[in-house]
Amino acid sequence: MSEQLYAGLLRLYPAGHPRDEMLDVLLTAGRPVWREIPALVLGGLRARCGGEYRWLYAARAAALLLLIFSALSSARQVASGWLPLSTMQILVFAGATLAVGSIIAGLRVPAVLAAVTTFVIGAADAADWRAVTGYSLAAVLLLIPGPRTPVHNPLLPVLALVPVDAVALGAEPLLLLGVLILVWAVVDERVALAVGLAFCVAFLQVIGDLTGNDARGLFLLAVTRLGFVTAFLLVGGLAAQRRSRV
């Protein structure tokens, strides 16, 4: 019975993993099954989600988040009538889509060219400066050299669909989502790192959230957003450092 259960749990690991050797070790050790199950499940999830070049992957994933979120933010404004659907805006959407597809496929050079083009067209149009700041940081992150690093995690596009707006969504769901991302760092710290890197764009948008010379408001906004960035990067960085020692 325990052998069948272990064999089923070991299927959580990728095909290239030494499943047979692990099964022999588990059966030889003779430890209670209930004590092995959590470690096997967590290890299987980590094996499927993990990989080398964690920070590089996180940078690519952050660029993906920024491109999708910025394009969707503009699309929401177009749908509500706040932003006109001009030819320039259509070109921005096309460029962002091409960049996203290139990141998923692991094609850095096409992704860089598409992201830079998206940023340039968006800046020239000057219709949605918030989206432009997102495109600019995405282009900078994609400039980081490194080996081919496809971004296949389906969780990332889902995160980009969430409007980071406490008024529209509510503060409690956003806080819960943040906690879930931090907890998920136990399995895949790259998601937390990507969210932290992507959230850095909030610093570029602080000034636009203020009216007049509100120094106190600027300070509170900066500290609040710094807290989010620090939490994600710190937790993700510590998890990545711990896994690199294993």
Query: In this structure, are 118 and 237 located in the same domain?
Result: yes
For 147-198, the pLDDT digits (tens) are 888 888 877 887 877 766 554 555 666 677 777 877 777 778 888 888 888 8
Do residues 65 and 159 make contact, with C-beta atoms less than 8 angstroms apart? yes
The mean pLDDT of 128-143, rounded to a whole number, is: 91
CA distance 117 to 115: 5
Task: Read off the pTM.
Answer: 0.76
Query: In this structure, are 160 and 38 located in the same domain?
Result: no
Query: In this structure, are 91 and 161 located in the same domain?
Result: yes
Q: Which long-range contacts (CB under 8 A, 24 or more apart) does 78-85 make?
A: 83/127, 83/128, 84/127
Backbone angles phi, psi at 130, to 5 degrees: -65, -45
Going from the C-alpha of 3 to that of each of 9, 25, 45, 58, 71, the distances in angstroms are: 10, 11, 20, 37, 50
pLDDT at 14: 66
Query: In this structure, are 31 and 124 located in the same domain?
Result: no
Query: In this structure, are 221 and 111 located in the same domain?
Result: yes
Query: In this structure, are 44 and 82 located in the same domain?
Result: no
Encode 8-25: b = buried (16+ Cβ within 10 Å), e = exposed. Answer: ebbebbeeebebeebeee
What total number of domains does the chain contain? 2
For 110-126, the pLDDT digits (tens) are 999 999 999 999 999 88
Q: Which residue has the higher pLDDT, 151 or 25?
A: 151
> Residue 154 is part of which domain span?
54-245
Backbone angles phi, psi at 166, to 5 degrees: -65, -25
